[in-house]
Amino acid sequence: MSRIPGVLPKKASFFTKIAYWFSKRRIGKVLEPLTVAAHHPAILHGYGAYEFYLDRARLVDARLKALASLKAAALIGCPF
């Protein structure tokens, strides 16, 4: 839990609402880092661009990326 409260969907900008919708569609809920990043539009745009291009990367097999993500999450104790 962060010390900064996230941006609520009712007070979110149009781009933030789109980002929340994609998060719900992909993961099932809006993640806390996304709500905190929504306080600053430039950071949110950069965060979105990073995730978009990371998802489009095809040099490494998708299964290997998923395995690396799980291993990194297990090492730091992240539930995702």
Contacts of residue 22, defined as CB under 8 A and 6 or more positions apart, other chains included, come to none
Full residue range of the structural domain in which residue 16 is found: 9-76
Residue 20 lies in a domain: yes
Q: What is the pTM of this model?
A: 0.67
Residue 3 lies in a domain: no
Structure tokens at 42: 């430039």
Residue 17 lies in a domain: yes
Residue 59 lies in a domain: yes
DSSP state of 39: T
Model pLDDT, residue 1:
67
Sign of the CA dihedral with 53 first, then 50, 40, and 69 last = positive
Chain segment 26-53, per-residue pLDDT in tens: 889 988 888 888 888 899 899 889 888 9
Q: How many domains does the chain have?
A: 1
pLDDT band at 80 (very low <50, low <70, confident <90, very high): low
Query: For residues 71 and 49, what is the distance between their CA atoms, to the nearest angstrom?
Result: 24
